[in-house]
Amino acid sequence: MLNRAPACLSDFAMTAFPEILYEDNHLLIVNKQPGDIVQGDKTGDISLVDNLKEYIREQYNKPGAVFLGLVHRLDRPVSGAVIFAKTSKALTRMTQMLKNREITKTYLAVVDNIPVPEEGVLVHYLRKNEKQNKSYQADEGSPGAKRSELNYRLVSSGKTWHLIEVQLITGRHHQIRAQLSLIGCHIKGDLKYGAARSNPDGSISLHARKVSFVHPVSKQVIAIVAPFPDNPEWQYFETGNH
């Protein structure tokens, strides 16, 4: 196991807190930017978990350890809404809701080709290659193969790029990236899954646009939309100049 020294206060002084989309006593939802890591990894970079614990400590003057549970993850080059739990009760309930598919996650992807058909359901069996950190199509029943399902539809189309909306049914490693590439729709900037070139900032043009669910404690319906990154390709589709 890699040992990583905990981030010190001077590290956080150099790091802005993420955009908060929703917060109450139990949940915290933020708009992750491309390049942010959700949890600590071998790079030693400050993670959203570390950053948000410091935010809670400062905002609410909390001494000692701060509890913050991660409900789901996004890959480092991906942007959009990420849900955290501020209480163990909320974390337990949200984790179970995720397993029960009671949390709807809607993504938008900028891709190089129009899908055929323009709307449908994708079902593949994917197997993760740990060494390459990449998922490949596999035969049903083969070792490590997991059924992967999503709904998609073409939202908008430009001269070069096209916008696809995706709703995840299952949550597999690199699922959207792998499944869209399997139908010839490569996400802009995603070299790992067949894009022709990288994005200047190292991101891929995949954005967790919306999360919706019934609040685990208040039982209110929560629907949170994450603003697009401040990148030309996203603004292109947001403003409709195509």
Q: Give 70-132 as a DSSP string.
A: E-----TT-EEEEEEESSHHHHHHHHHHHHTT-SEEEEEEEESS--SSSEEEEEEEEEEETTT
- For the chain, what is the domain count? 1
- Residue 1 inside a domain? The answer is no
On whether the CB atoms of residues 233 and 188 are closer than 8 A, the answer is yes
pTM: 0.89
Each residue of 68-79: pLDDT tens digit?
999 999 999 999
Q: What are phi and psi of 103, to 5 degrees?
A: -115, 120
Quick: pLDDT tens for 32-41: 999 999 987 7
Please report, for the domain that includes residue 160, its CATH number.
3.30.2350.10
For residue 4, the model assigns a pLDDT of: 32
Residue 118 lies in a domain: yes
Label residue 213 exposed, middle or buried (CB < 10 Å: 0-12, 13-18, 19+): buried
Q: Where are the beta strands (DSSP E) in 130-181?
A: 134-137, 146-157, 162-168
Q: Write down the mean pLDDT value for the chain.
A: 90
**List of residues 6+ apart from 140 with CB closer than 8 A:** 125, 147
Answer for the pair 51, 18: CB distance below 8 angstroms, yes or no: yes
Q: Where in the sequence is the domain holding 111, given as residue range(s)? A: 9-239
pLDDT at 16: 80
pLDDT at 156: 95
Predicted confidence (pLDDT) at residue 242 exceeds the cutoff of 80: no
Look at residue 14 and tell me whether its pLDDT is greater than 80: no
Q: How far apart (Å, rounded) are the C-alpha atoms in residues 38 and 41?
A: 9
